[in-house]
Structure 1
Amino acid sequence: MKAKLATLFTLIVLVVLNVGIWSYVNNPLQLPSWNSTMMGVTYNGTRRDFNPELKNYPTREQVQEDLALLSDKVHSIRTYTSLEGMEVVPEIAAQNNMHLAMGAWIDLFDDTTTEQDRLKIEEKNRRDIESLISLSNQYPKTIVRTLVGNESLLRARSKLAGPIADQITEQFKGQLSEQDIKDKIETEVKVKVAEKASQLIDYIREVKKRTWKPVSTSETWDIWEANPALVEEVDYIGVHILPYWENVPVDKAPGAEGYAAVDYVFKRFYELQQKYPNKPIVITETGWPSDGPPQKSASASLVNEAKFLRAFLNRATAENVIYYVIEAFDQPWKIELEGTAGAYWGLFNADRQPKFPMEGEVVANPMWRNFATGAALLSVILMSAFLFTRKSLKLPGKLLFGIVANLAASVLFWSASIAAAQYQTSFSVVFWSILLMMQAMAILVLLTESLELAEVLWHRKGRRTFTPLTPSADFKYPKVSIHLPIHNEPPEMVRKTLNALAKVDYPNFEVLVMDNNTKDPEVWRPVSEDCDRLGPKFRFFHLDNWPGFKAGAINYALENTAEDAEIIAVIDSDYILNPDWLKAMVPYFDQENVGFVQSPQDYRDAHQGTFKDMCYWEYAGFFNIGMVQRNEYNAIIQHGTMTMVRKSAFEKVGAWGEWCICEDSELGLRLYEAGYDSVYCKESFGRGLMPDTFSGYMTQRFRWVYGAMQIIKKHWRHFLPNKKSLLTPAQRYYFVAGWLPWFSDALALLFTGASLVLTTLLVLNPLHSELPINAFLLPTIGLFVFKVGRGLWLYKARVACSILQAMGAALAGLSLTHTVARGTLQGLFTSGKPFMRTPKYEAQGPLIAGLLVIWQEILLLTLLIAGIVAMRMEPQFDNTSGRLWVAVLAVQAVPYLATFLTILISVAPNYLPGKKLAAEELDVDE
């Protein structure tokens, strides 16, 4: 009862802290208020569902609704066109006592424009100009100024800059310095833009001639600065000053008062005023987006939009500046033109709801309470599901898991809150769904691994700790049939195994050696002769063209096992047994429900070099951490060596599965499904040989992963809650939790591929390609750091090795990440992969051969490094999100770098001075 109360108290405290953090992050900000009527805003009446291709422009009724909403908030509005539903704006503005800056959209053509396209451009321009002139003359009291074109020259400059730069660079490369080429490009672009200005000037002159209102055009401050001839033609300067697009942050440096972005607007305004003192200036666009990618240190957010607008409005009023804030309503359709930020410049969202108040406090996420509640509920569910069922878990372990559960739930709902605040299309809904599913998978891995960490470090004394037994004097030793399958194995290695078997201290056993499908008699006959030499306990069978691989061979042994045998033991052909294995472990079968007894895999060749030392400790981690913990819940993985199975159990569950290349693990699962228990003793009773090459190491791991996927496809129904399966909830959990990291590696491979595609798009087309939000980048980096730290912590707690050996094990494990990913994906989507034998006494090949083995990893590593370099060279991504993305690419590169380093370590002895001994010469008896 006390333990449950302590758990409940822990749960409540953590949830309260979680909600408290949400509240702190969304603490209302006190900003300068604006409580007057704005001078002007830009207006585009399109709605959330607007599609330029469908041309579903705003209706009269919609414009009436919009202007009625704006009438008590602004004195004037500005339009960008006099067509596309905006023809009714002057009439409705007059009804609402609003002034109007009416615009016409003007496109310019150049030398590359075809005659047909030129005629279309001129026809569209003409219609807009005629509508502007007509409306200006029809509503002289409402329309106070006109604007012929919107960033027409800026768009022309953007179109001209690329071809001009390419042409001049190619022409003068090697003749002029880089700076001279840059200056020449800038000069030529200015000349060409000035030429295009003549088209715009013709329209301006016409409107001035045919109307009585002041006429100008809208351009960015730098276009006006570079084109005094254009200034001469207009009645006033209509300038756009948008600090967000110029990488200027809203706030000044910490400690400084004021707002950098607002200061920047007025700095540019007064510079233009100083250059053209006799020309009135109107700020026809300024503002800040509430969402979008960062532009270096300029960050788009709801709070920053509120900061900028409140500060700007107060200062503009104080300094008598005429302005139009961009814009009245969010425009989701602009995402296609300007990227995400293009949709979020409105004072109101696309549904005509205010995005933030102009007076009083501003909250970063107005809906934060809903998402905080969701995060709290999810964390309660997660903690309740695990903490109340872990009676042996101490309080620090419960705290650790509880903290991770709350953090995971908050990250998931943080991401969901960002998605909910954005305008979604069919594509973006699918995109967000995939991202959230991947994040959920990463969170599942994080939760399972944090629970394992908590249980290993803070677990009360084990209830299922098994140690070697000493049989009583009157113990009746059941007969054990030891099965030794071999295929094309070095006879001198098998001889060591047989000699060790002959020394087993057990009164009642037999040894069946099955050689399946070894073609060369010089390989299998010496083994047959050794069996003859060792006496009648040893029987040898040579099987030609035998199906089923290893499983087929040991099934044959089952059929030929002595009738009085009660226990079946299986070892691999390279294992040298301790004499007391059977005596120490067979007595556990006195418990009628024990189906199989497992001893750990162990190895005798770690001394053969750094590569094998790394592999040795990587294997040791699983058998000293994962298997020990799973044993507490009767949920271990059966392995095909150092295992014993009750013979009668085969009659109940069937023989070894010849369809599965991990027949051992599959049989163990069937035994659990039939209700049998297992025993795992972590003491080593036999030692084999590790793969001699990295290729062998990869092949072995691929087989394990592929076989696991076969098992999942065959047995998945048993992991669902149902009454037919005898699997306990803990067994279901530990099997699924054990496979989750492999699925995570497969998803990571897909994510890496997507990251490379996105990085390419970012570099080639930065305007229309955006970085993932930080809500996905930060957890990716954090999960990697957690996994590395967790692994080292677990090794320190459970594995008797040095920190360097633990780091070597981590490097070896990371080096197999791509292999695991391939095995997972191929295992899920293919079937019938043949059994892959791990070669013994394999000669280490040259470096080039090793590099060819890992060509996929090298390719991905090269592409990721190239992506990192390209991102660092792109000024636009010199911001927090850009640096986080580079960090994500670096994290993704780590496993491939680990593979490259491991292959170098494995072949290094070939290139070091001294005599090179073959693996068989290095092998030792134990």
Structure 2
Amino acid sequence: MLPSSVKAEYKGLADNENRRRFSKSTFALVLAVMAMVATVHGALWMWAQETMSAPAAINKFPSLSFAPYDPKSDPESGGVTNEAQIRSDMKVVAPYTRAIRTYSSTGGLEYVPSVAAEHGIKVSMGAWVDKSDDRNERELRAVVDLARKNSNINAIVVGNETILRAEQTVDELIKKIQRVKRETSGIPVTTGEIWNIWLEHPELVSAVDFIAVHILPYWEGHPETSAVDQAIIIYNKLRAAYPGKRIVIAEFGWPSGGYNLHRAQPGPMIQAQVIRDFVARAEAYGIDYNIVEAFDQPWKTNEGSVGCYWGLFDGDRNLKFNLAGDITNTRANTNTIIALVIGALLSLTALKMVRPTFGHVAMRVAAANAVGAWLAVVFDYWVTHYFVTGAMFSMALGFILLIPLVFVAMARIDELAAIVFGRAPRRLLAKPAHDPVRAPKVSIHIPAYREQPEMLKATLDAVARLDYPNFECVVIINNTPDPACWQPIEAHCKLLGERFKFLNEPKVQGFKAGALRIALAHTDPEAEVIGVIDADYVVHPDWLKDLVPAFEDPRVGIVQAPQDHRDGKRSVMHEMMNAEYAGFFDIGMVQRNEHDAIVVHGTMVLIRRTALKAGGDWSSDTICEDTDLGLCLLEQGWSVHYTSRRYGWGMLPDTYEAFRKQRHRWAYGGVQIVKKHWRQMWQPEATRLTGDQRREFLMGWFNWLGAESVGVLMAILNILWVPVVAFGGIAVPERILTLPIVATFVIYLVHFMWLYRQRVGIGPVRSIGAAIAAMGMQFTVAKAVADGVVKDNLPFNVTAKGGGKAKKGSDFAAFWETVIAGLLLLGAAVLHMTNYHQVNEINIFKWVLVVQSLPFLAAAGMAALERTPLNDFALWRRLVERIHAALPRRTADVGVPPKVSAD
């Protein structure tokens, strides 16, 4: 732990920092930006509020389809209504209609005529006809009996689209119509069918007293702009075909929700406009008509996504739109308020920003408001749509899984803004301006497990060349029985002199941490600083000279230098891996260092010996003992420093499989660290971590471990969802569960390409290679997280480097990634081929599957690249030379990485 005097000094500095952070000018800047962004956000909502116009509807409709069922019941599955429900619903529609139409005469609907009579409402009584002879008989007897007893029944409709559904032949239906006509006197009898059935069956026309035609342009895919024209055209066709026959448009309507059908777009405002336009035209032409429906029918899931939404009233019996005046979104103001409030709440984090700039604050607050807008849309969808259990579960699960991705996207936007618009980093260690006053002794520890002797010799030779007067080097060979691996190192240490200590420990427990504990036990007592490098690292002579002076500050526990590699030109794959590594050290680590919250990695690291002891020494609780130790020291109040200047170069993993195993180890160790330290993140009294440090570690874990795992889980769930969409007709709400995935991917690409260009300093070709390498690790990280959740104490897998430990196996390294990518692309192809109605949500979902396949394709591509001549830079150089020869006046950037310089 830190000495008490240092703790007091540190606390005083922290208090000063907090006071500076919340200065009046900072507070005013953030509030001003929040107000500005909120104003723009609100203005965008107002601008997006479309206003439509349409003729005013008449005071009372001629007729409305009437299904007086409780919204939670399901008449199609045997549900019935009752007199109380009918009376309640009749009071709702009575001010708006002169007549109603039912589709059945049983199941409680026998009360409808008498209740309607109390309100002076006429009834077109329906008799449901299907393939069940018993039910048909009950319906026909009931409708005849009701017609005899109720004088307000002005028509009987025998069957509803019975011929269309092929539940009766035309002759069978005609016989039923004739029977009802015989058993009732003076009441017109007909049947309800779509318009082409009437045109195709004149014998049916002859059997009925009037034509009850259903004209629903939505189901024919006509756009809303021509729906009324289409209805009038069809009406005129029937008039021309059957002059003198009375024609009633027995169903006309438009859905307020659900999916599009070709060019037909549903929507609440569109429904209002179409129906009001139709009513005006029908009244002007003297057309008898019935509007379908009076009420939304939440149970009607057999008509696709729109079946629930044909009502003038919603399921709670609220009128959906005004019958006169402008047509507006009645929920627009509510949605705007929700979006602004959530955006403001999420923007409050900007009040704690250190050294904020206008651009940085604006982007953070804008991202918060964008999330607020998305959540407002989610809420609006939730309260304006009906869900069966399966749909509710899928939407809730999809929304929950999207939350991590949305917050990761916010974090990436914030990091992008901090680098592009924020202030330059101020905590990065730089070379000392003058020679240090003293040179505390440093003990450099190099653990080695079955390493190639020549590679380790090069590491020792580089240490011997260090421009620092006071150091020793402890080399510990652990669990390496082959004398050919350790005897040359023992001899080389003797050759290099007394500064180099050689240890050969054949039975070390606790992986790398166990070896480092042994090395510490053999360290010179006068050593104040411990340095750790991997066996493959060649260090710069200035490493200790430049970085050890930082320990003159008694608060500093660790000084970390970045990793880098000297063999990126081995192959195209190795260059991609090397570029991917660089982003972590030049982007993420630099930003985390501003909050004293870097991830300590166990090479190129210098540790104060007293801090190491205070932190409990190297722990074997996790296989990432370095990161674990760094977090332990931060929890105790020690400070950690970072430099982005390269002071050492190691070797890249030999193969793609080795690259995957290394990333799996890091991610698995990360899960172990989360399990070990999560309580400290939520208990401020148990640790000295600052709020910024907690945030950086939590977001780091969330961004890396959580987002990758959720990405894989969502991809697998979407694969399972494809048959439901393709063959069940149930898609995913486009604005809620699909577009955010695409938006998150776009943010990822912009973040990656822009920051790699600005911070890492590489061109677009190498940036694309780095992005492919990074995306290709998604499944590996997700598997590591799953392993970390269900498995304890997996072994430490040493990364094969230097060409001596790993060879390309016969198995394809990215087999499962290839399978998942293939299933995602197959799913997209199936959706493309089965989307006969060109539903927008299905098209978007199709492209989401393609986007989700990219990380898996990236892994498969890298694994395949390793096995082909395309992985050889020589091939590309020859290709470029041929291009130069063909175009002698044109130069091209071959994209080959420059030679690594020790400087």
The TM-score with structure 1 as length reference comes to 0.88
Question: Bigger CA drift: 666-675 or 31-40?
Answer: 31-40
Residue identity matched to 2:65: T
Query: Could you say if the C-alpha distance between residues 505 and 848 of structure 1 is closer, same or farther in structure 2, counting changes exceeding 3 Å?
Result: closer
The answer on whether the counterparts of 1:844 and 1:907 sit within 8 Å (CA) in structure 2 is no
Aligned equivalent of 1:168: none
Distance in 2, Cα, partners of 1:151 & 1:846: 70
Distance in 2, Cα, partners of 1:123 & 1:142: 27
What is the SS of the residue equivalent to 1:72?
Answer: helix
The answer on whether the counterparts of 1:470 and 1:584 sit within 8 Å (CA) in structure 2 is no
Distance in 1, Cα, partners of 2:79 & 2:641: 71
Picking from 325, 329, 332, the partner of 2:295 is: 329
Aligned equivalent of 2:164: 154
Aligned equivalent of 1:800: 761
Picking from 889, 901, 905, the partner of 2:849 is: 889
Deviation at 1:887, TM superposition (A): 2.1
Aligned equivalent of 1:406: 369
What is the SS of the residue equivalent to 1:515?
Answer: strand
Query: Could you say if the C-alpha distance between residues 216 and 543 of structure 1 is closer, same or farther in structure 2, counting changes exceeding 3 Å?
Result: farther
Question: Bigger CA drift: 54-63 or 77-86?
Answer: 54-63
Question: Bigger CA drift: 858-867 or 825-834?
Answer: 825-834
Residue identity matched to 2:148: N
Distance in 2, Cα, partners of 1:104 & 1:500: 95
The answer on whether the counterparts of 1:599 and 1:680 sit within 8 Å (CA) in structure 2 is yes
What is the SS of the residue equivalent to 2:792?
Answer: coil
Distance in 2, Cα, partners of 1:312 & 1:290: 15
1:14-55, Cα deviation, whole Å (9 max, x unpaired) = 111111222222244333211331111111111122144885
Deviation at 1:274, TM superposition (A): 2.7
Query: Could you say if the C-alpha distance between residues 38 and 670 of structure 1 is closer, same or farther in structure 2, counting changes exceeding 3 Å?
Result: same
Aligned equivalent of 1:450: 413
The TM-score with structure 2 as length reference comes to 0.90
Are residues 1:300 and 2:260 paired?
no
* CA RMSD, 1 decimal: 2.5
Query: Could you say if the C-alpha distance between residues 844 and 228 of structure 1 is closer, same or farther in structure 2, counting changes exceeding 3 Å?
Result: farther
1:65-107, Cα deviation, whole Å (9 max, x unpaired) = 2222222211111101000110011111122111111111111
Matches for 1:785-824 after TM superposition, within 5 Å: 785-824=746-785
What is the SS of the residue equivalent to 1:466?
Answer: coil
Question: Bigger CA drift: 266-275 or 783-792?
Answer: 266-275
Are residues 1:313 and 2:323 paired?
no
Distance in 2, Cα, partners of 1:527 & 1:216: 101
Matches for 1:476-875 after TM superposition, within 5 Å: 476-720=438-682, 722-742=684-704, 743-766=706-729, 769-842=730-803, 849=810, 852-875=812-835
Question: Bigger CA drift: 552-561 or 708-717?
Answer: 552-561
Aligned equivalent of 1:205: 178
Question: Bigger CA drift: 678-687 or 805-814?
Answer: 805-814
1:300-343, Cα deviation, whole Å (9 max, x unpaired) = 110111011101111111112221111111111112x2233111
Are residues 1:369 and 2:333 paired?
yes
Residue identity matched to 2:380: S
The answer on whether the counterparts of 1:516 and 1:544 sit within 8 Å (CA) in structure 2 is yes
The answer on whether the counterparts of 1:295 and 1:876 sit within 8 Å (CA) in structure 2 is no
Deviation at 1:819, TM superposition (A): 1.7
Matches for 1:141-220 after TM superposition, within 5 Å: 141-156=151-166, 196-212=169-185, 213-220=187-194
Matches for 1:458-473 after TM superposition, within 5 Å: 458-469=421-432, 472=435
Picking from 318, 324, 327, the partner of 1:359 is: 324
Residue identity matched to 1:44: A
Aligned equivalent of 1:223: 197
Picking from 101, 104, 109, the partner of 1:78 is: 101
Residue identity matched to 2:227: A
Distance in 2, Cα, partners of 1:62 & 1:534: 96
Are residues 1:12 and 2:35 paired?
yes
Query: Could you say if the C-alpha distance between residues 914 and 343 of structure 1 is closer, same or farther in structure 2, counting changes exceeding 3 Å?
Result: closer
Deviation at 1:374, TM superposition (A): 2.4
Matches for 1:85-100 after TM superposition, within 5 Å: 85-100=108-123
Are residues 1:247 and 2:210 paired?
no
Aligned equivalent of 2:312: 347
Deviation at 1:707, TM superposition (A): 1.2
Distance in 2, Cα, partners of 1:521 & 1:692: 23
Distance in 1, Cα, partners of 2:107 & 2:825: 48
Distance in 1, Cα, partners of 2:764 & 2:781: 25
Distance in 1, Cα, partners of 2:688 & 2:871: 55
The answer on whether the counterparts of 2:540 and 2:902 sit within 8 Å (CA) in structure 1 is no
The answer on whether the counterparts of 1:465 and 1:681 sit within 8 Å (CA) in structure 2 is yes
Distance in 1, Cα, partners of 2:789 & 2:40: 41
What is the SS of the residue equivalent to 1:97?
Answer: coil
What is the SS of the residue equivalent to 2:641?
Answer: strand
Distance in 2, Cα, partners of 1:273 & 1:881: 39
Distance in 2, Cα, partners of 1:451 & 1:925: 33
Deviation at 1:402, TM superposition (A): 1.9
Aligned equivalent of 2:16: none
State the number of aligned residues.
856
Matches for 1:256-295 after TM superposition, within 5 Å: 260-295=226-261
Question: Bigger CA drift: 551-560 or 288-297?
Answer: 551-560
Picking from 108, 123, 134, the partner of 1:123 is: 134
Picking from 135, 146, 150, the partner of 2:146 is: 135
The answer on whether the counterparts of 2:619 and 2:625 sit within 8 Å (CA) in structure 1 is yes
1:869-906, Cα deviation, whole Å (9 max, x unpaired) = 22222343524333322221221122122223322333
What is the SS of the residue equivalent to 1:541?
Answer: strand
Distance in 2, Cα, partners of 1:829 & 1:271: 69
Query: Could you say if the C-alpha distance between residues 52 and 552 of structure 1 is closer, same or farther in structure 2, counting changes exceeding 3 Å?
Result: farther
Distance in 1, Cα, partners of 2:683 & 2:231: 63
The answer on whether the counterparts of 1:491 and 1:524 sit within 8 Å (CA) in structure 2 is yes
Residue identity matched to 2:274: F
Distance in 1, Cα, partners of 2:619 & 2:323: 71
Residue identity matched to 1:129: L
Distance in 1, Cα, partners of 2:366 & 2:728: 41
Query: Could you say if the C-alpha distance between residues 63 and 35 of structure 1 is closer, same or farther in structure 2, counting changes exceeding 3 Å?
Result: same
Distance in 2, Cα, partners of 1:914 & 1:394: 47
Distance in 2, Cα, partners of 1:686 & 1:600: 8
Distance in 1, Cα, partners of 2:175 & 2:676: 76
Query: Could you say if the C-alpha distance between residues 844 and 757 of structure 1 is closer, same or farther in structure 2, counting changes exceeding 3 Å?
Result: farther
Distance in 1, Cα, partners of 2:900 & 2:364: 44
What is the SS of the residue equivalent to 1:723?
Answer: helix
Distance in 2, Cα, partners of 1:125 & 1:846: 76
What is the SS of the residue equivalent to 2:748?
Answer: helix
Residue identity matched to 2:377: W
Deviation at 1:741, TM superposition (A): 2.3
Q: Percent sequence identity over matched residues?
A: 33
The answer on whether the counterparts of 1:871 and 1:877 sit within 8 Å (CA) in structure 2 is no
Picking from 863, 866, 887, the partner of 1:903 is: 863
Question: Bigger CA drift: 674-683 or 613-622?
Answer: 613-622
What is the SS of the residue equivalent to 2:836?
Answer: helix
1:769-790, Cα deviation, whole Å (9 max, x unpaired) = 2232323322221221121112
Picking from 188, 212, 218, the partner of 1:238 is: 212
Question: Bigger CA drift: 841-850 or 282-291?
Answer: 841-850
Question: Bigger CA drift: 549-558 or 836-845?
Answer: 836-845
